[in-house]
Homo-oligomer: A and B are copies of this chain.
Amino acid sequence: MTSTASPTTPPQLPIDGARLIERLSALASFGGSVKSGVARESLTPTELAARHWLAAHYATRPGYLVGVDAAANLHIRRLGQYDELPFVMTGSHIDTQPLGGWLDGAFGVMAGLEVFDALDDAGLRTRRSLQVVAWTNEEGSRFSPGLMGSQAYVQPQALAGYLPVCDARGESFGQARDTALHAFDQAADAGGWSCFAPEPAQPVHAYVEAHIEQGPVLEREGLALGIVEAIQGVRWYQVVVPGRCAHAGTTPLVDRDDAQAKAIALAHALLSHAAEAAQAGDDALRVTIGRWACQPDAINTIADRVSFTVDLRHPDAHVRDAFDRLLRRLAPDGSQITLLQDKTTTAFDPALVTLLGEAAERRGLAARRMVSGAFHDAMPLAGHAPTAMLFAPSLRGVSHHPEEHTHSADLVACTQVLADGLLALAEPMR
């Protein structure tokens, strides 16, 4: 990505905040509401209806094309003057957790579409085409893993591995994908839509994704916007600590091999290590023990097996490595440590991060650079094109829950910076 916007006259594109919130609220009615949360898992009839509602807004408007690719990602393309140039991409996902909030994913898609409407309002053409994508199965709650659509877009050979994956009712991703493609064709025929066939892994000039933070940092610091420069690395461990069953009443401590006591001592040491790092000022080290199970799980029996998980995140691989050594050094003899997942930190494009930061500054917004703690579709995209993200503050950091919320002013401000950034990237025709 190279910015061709003039440094003296950076483009600004006024958006319609009321329209954005109204259309976001309308999207929430597909599967729920703003207040009650949204149940709209990937490729369900509810999600397909929402996709077609989105596509229909643009599919008969001059200068727009709509299409679905082999992973059923929905693309809405606003044609630029030079459609053959690498295009500017934005978007996110509209699938939710089984019962999620109204903003996780949906905001990024609706923010991108609001940019289209703002461009239309302003009668502005761009040199490069712009494309809003609603990625398939970001959440991963219906089909595992998440990020299927964006991963298959940048790495088409991954799709074959996803097609046999089944949901809890036994329907495969391949079947659901076929249903979605067929439903799209029917809707397109019925609506007289202008369509195109999006190819995966096409050259992309830049990818910018707007999303809610899903964490408490921006709210706590009183900021309106996060300019995301990386997605932190994560390791998932499963730790199994062995012991020997014995009677809680008859077995002196000195005779015990208590798996629970050993696991608690290890977990306490790991959490203390993280707490010390936080006290020393490193707020990026995140250690979570989310699962815990013991056997035989009886009140008066000493446990012979405890299993727990560790979710470890830090942007710096050295810090993750140091934690890994600590875990292996402290684990009691006979423990099994399984690395369930190991994702390195995804660094975003520095020039694009700078461009977005300057756009925020010009709008007078209190913003900060930050690292995303959660995964997003921008993670696979970053391996394919210059990529960055914008975060809107999440109230109390809540997401994946009906109480997920962001003040309208913050959603509007984030969309405004997205609009200014996309316009600069797509290069306005003057």
A residues touching B (Cβ–Cβ < 8 Å)? Answer: 213-217, 220, 232, 234, 236, 245-255, 258, 260-261, 264-265, 267-268, 271, 274-275, 278, 283-294, 297-303, 306, 309, 311, 313, 340, 372-375, 394, 397-401
Contact B401 A290 (CB under 8 A): no
Check B250–A373 contact: CB distance below 8 A: yes
Verify B251–A397 contact, CB threshold 8 A: yes
Instruction: Indicate which residue in B252, B267, B289 contacts A283 across the interface (CB closer than 8 Å).
Output: B252
List residues of chain B with CB within 8 A of the CB of A294.
Answer: 290-292
Give 26 pairs: A residue, B residue, CB < 8 Å, sorted on A.
A214-B249, A215-B252, A217-B250, A217-B252, A217-B255, A220-B255, A232-B249, A236-B300, A248-B288, A248-B313, A248-B373, A249-B311, A249-B373, A249-B374, A250-B374, A250-B397, A251-B373, A253-B275, A260-B290, A261-B289, A265-B271, A290-B294, A290-B299, A291-B297, A291-B298, A299-B340
Please give 13 more A-B residue pairs, beta carbons under 8 A apart, in addition to A250-B373, A264-B271, A301-B400: A213-B250, A234-B249, A248-B290, A248-B373, A249-B286, A250-B374, A252-B283, A253-B274, A255-B397, A290-B302, A291-B298, A299-B309, A300-B311
State whether A216 touches B251 (Cβ < 8 A): yes
Chain B residues lying within 8 Å of A248, measured Cβ to Cβ, are 286, 288, 290, 311, 313, 373
Chain B residues, CB < 8 A from A252: 215-217, 278, 283-284, 286
Q: Which of B267, B292, B397 contacts A297 (CB 8 A)?
A: B292
- Copies of this subunit: 2
With both beta carbons as reference points, the residue of chain B lying nearest to A220 in the complex is identified as B255
C-alpha spacing A269/B302, complex, angstroms: 18
What chain B residues lie within 8 Å of A290 (beta carbons)? Answer: 248, 260, 294, 297-303
Q: Nearest B residue to A398 by beta-carbon distance?
A: B246
Which residues on the B side are within 8 Å of A267 (C-beta)? 264
A267, B263: Cα distance in complex, Å: 11
- Cα distance A273–B303 in the bound complex, in angstroms: 19
A380 to B102, CA, bound (A): 61
In the complex, A152→B311 CA distance in Å?
52
A291→B248 CA distance, assembly (Å): 12
Q: Is the CB of A253 within 8 A of B278?
A: yes
Do the beta carbons of A250 and B311 come within 8 Å of each other? no
Contacts of A271 in B (CB 8 A): 261, 264-265
Q: Which residues of B contact A288 (CB under 8 A)?
A: 248, 258, 260, 300-302
Residues of B within 8 A of A400 (CB): 247, 301
